[in-house]
A = this chain, B = another copy of it.
């Protein structure tokens, strides 16, 4: 047991150490499915105002921990804080997802990109991390996070969400030199950003590669994994004498888990399209695995949720190194009662 943590089974599972029961946290556990979140969000005004207010960000981070027996907290923030700090002008339109008012359109735009100082433009994130860590008071570990360079670059070039990734892939294929320059700058930014989060109190970090799965295997290695590797190599891996585990998650990246496992990270996120038994074979014990229930299972009744939880636990099988999670963020229309069923079912285990 860590000197500072009352519950460290999440950290131990990520480090493949023995645990009494499988730990669980839920991607987007602080979010719109909780009525108390919606109240704070309404109070804050827009989404970024909520992210930039340390007290409110701390409050919504804590909310799911009051309802459910979760084994980790995750910083309430957005994956696009870095490009926002680079001056791209992040905003959210109702029902439309994130947008940038100044997207990257040319090689000149890429050259002009500056690496943000995490203790200046991004100080608001560090303030939230410090306050949440203090408020948690060792109850469970705090996860810090960032988007991956490829994922950030996708939004930066597309100017928002996209179905076909035409602009960012157009740049990747037509001007790979500029794309590599942007990814290198973004990787440097993510590294210093995550190190600042660790300095401020994050006890584990996760890199969300939401869009690596839209690439071919070759391009994935060249344009996404290479830059996550650069980050893994640059991160502070201990703080206060404790190891800070690093988790990589490429959505729809099941086929590349073997490559990802060689980066030196501690754990990999797995979505539900890849069985954990398959993921275990592909990664050959090099890393812990985090996942992988289909978030849509939470639309079903309690008995179905319990039986689907058992399938995931059975698929991982024996041995340490499993952190239970959904395979993607929880949907906004889920009933919080179903989440309680899920968390309790994971803690009940296969007995």
Contacts and interface: CB of A to CB of B under 8 A. Distances in A.
A85 interface: no
A211 to B, nearest CB: 12
A262 interface: no
Task: Indicate the member of A173, A174, A214, A255 with the most B CB atoms within 10 Å.
Answer: A173
A214 B213 CA distance: 13
Contact of A294 (B169, B213, B301, B304): B169
A331 interface: yes
A218 B295 contact: no
A214 B251 CA distance: 11
20 contacts: A164-B295, A164-B331, A166-B299, A169-B294, A169-B297, A169-B299, A170-B299, A173-B297, A174-B299, A174-B304, A215-B273, A215-B294, A216-B275, A216-B294, A217-B275, A217-B278, A218-B311, A219-B294, A252-B273, A255-B278
Shortest beta-carbon contacts, A-B, top 3: A169-B296, A170-B299, A173-B300
Interface in A206-255: 213-219, 252, 254-255
A272 B217 CA distance: 8
B275 A166 contact: no
Interface string A303-330: 0100010010000000000000000000
Given A173-B297, A219-B294, 16 more contacts: A164-B295, A165-B296, A166-B299, A170-B296, A173-B299, A173-B304, A173-B308, A174-B304, A213-B252, A214-B273, A215-B273, A216-B294, A217-B274, A218-B275, A218-B311, A252-B273
Interface of A: 164-166, 169-170, 172-174, 213-219, 252, 254-255, 272-275, 278, 294-297, 299-301, 304, 308, 311, 331, 333
A154 to B, nearest CB: 12
Contacts of A214: 273
Nearest to A271: B216
B331 A296 contact: no
Contacts of A166: 296, 299, 331, 333
Contacts of A173: 296-297, 299-300, 304, 308
A170 B218 CA distance: 36
Given A166-B331, A173-B304, A174-B304, A213 B273 contact: yes
Contacts of A299: 166, 169-170, 173-174
Contacts of A311: 218
Contacts of A174: 299-301, 304
A169 B304 CA distance: 12
A305 to B, nearest CB: 9
A333 B300 CA distance: 41
B255 A255 contact: yes
A278 B220 CA distance: 15
Contacts of A300: 170, 173-174
Contacts of A295: 164
A278 B272 CA distance: 21
Nearest to A295: B164
Contacts of A296: 164-166, 169-170, 172-173
A255 B271 CA distance: 13
Contacts of A170: 296, 299-300
